[in-house]
């Protein structure tokens, strides 16, 4: 990945005591995704529809918010186009994996929150969660940019 799209100029990782890598907010993550889609997609011929842009921005927001709320903070963020796919990766300090939660609790009451991970899974072609050697995890969502694959939410 080109250093132009990394959100940290240094090589240190927060988990290893280095500097924080990644946006400090979902808004910054969305800005990075917009920049990558505008600059890289035109250069690589990977067209981005308005629906795809919306999906990518929402997935970036959800992944960074989840890292902030449940993962001890964002330690790294990458956005890269490979072929006809956008790869969004967010790392955090927590090894615990994301889980799907029922929207209602045991008493049948609707829960606040708990909808971000299902949104990420629904809008992404593939989602990979991997442990990091220094601790924590990296969540990578693959979002198709090509219309030939259709919208992920439309697939069964």
What is the reported pLDDT for 47?
A: 67
Question: Contact 50/57 with Cβ under 8 angstroms?
Answer: no
What is the reported pLDDT for 42?
A: 65
Whole-number Å distance between alpha carbons of 123 and 100:
15
Question: Contact 143/55 with Cβ under 8 angstroms?
Answer: yes
Q: pTM for this one?
A: 0.76
Rounded to 5 degrees, what angle do the CA atoms 59, 142, 82 make? Answer: 125
What is the reported pLDDT for 107?
A: 85
**DSSP at 104:** B
Phi, psi angle pair for 118, to nearest 5°: -60, -35
What is the reported pLDDT for 108?
A: 81
Residuewise pLDDT in 10s, the chain (156 residues): 333 333 333 333 333 333 445 577 899 999 999 999 988 766 666 668 889 999 999 999 999 999 999 999 999 999 999 988 999 999 999 999 887 777 777 888 876 766 789 999 999 999 999 999 999 999 999 999 875 545 555 544
What is the reported pLDDT for 14?
A: 37
What is the reported pLDDT for 156?
A: 46
Quote the distance between the C-alpha of residue 148 and its chain's center. Answer: 22
The SS3 call for residue 12 is coil
The SS3 call for residue 4 is helix
What is the reported pLDDT for 149?
A: 47
E strands within the chain? 74-82, 85-92, 126-131, 137-144
């Amino acid at each position: 990945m080109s250093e132009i799209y990394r959100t940290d100029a240094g090589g240190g990782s927060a988990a290893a005591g280095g500097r924080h890598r990644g946006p400090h907010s979902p808004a910054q993550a969305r800005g990075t995704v917009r920049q990558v889609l505008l600059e890289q997609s035109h250069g690589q011929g990977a067209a981005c529809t308005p629906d795809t842009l919306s999906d990518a921005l929402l997935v970036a927001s959800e992944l960074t918010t989840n890292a902030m709320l449940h993962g001890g903070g964002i330690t790294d963020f990458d956005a890269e186009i490979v072929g006809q796919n956008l790869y969004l990766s967010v790392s955090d300090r927590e090894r615990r994996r994301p889980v799907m939660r029922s929207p209602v609790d045991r008493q049948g009451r609707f829960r606040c929150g708990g909808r971000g991970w299902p949104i990420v899974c629904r809008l992404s072609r593939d989602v990979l969660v991997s442990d990091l050697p220094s601790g924590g995890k990296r969540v990578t969502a693959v979002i198709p940019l090509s219309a030939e694959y259709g919208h992920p939410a439309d697939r069964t």
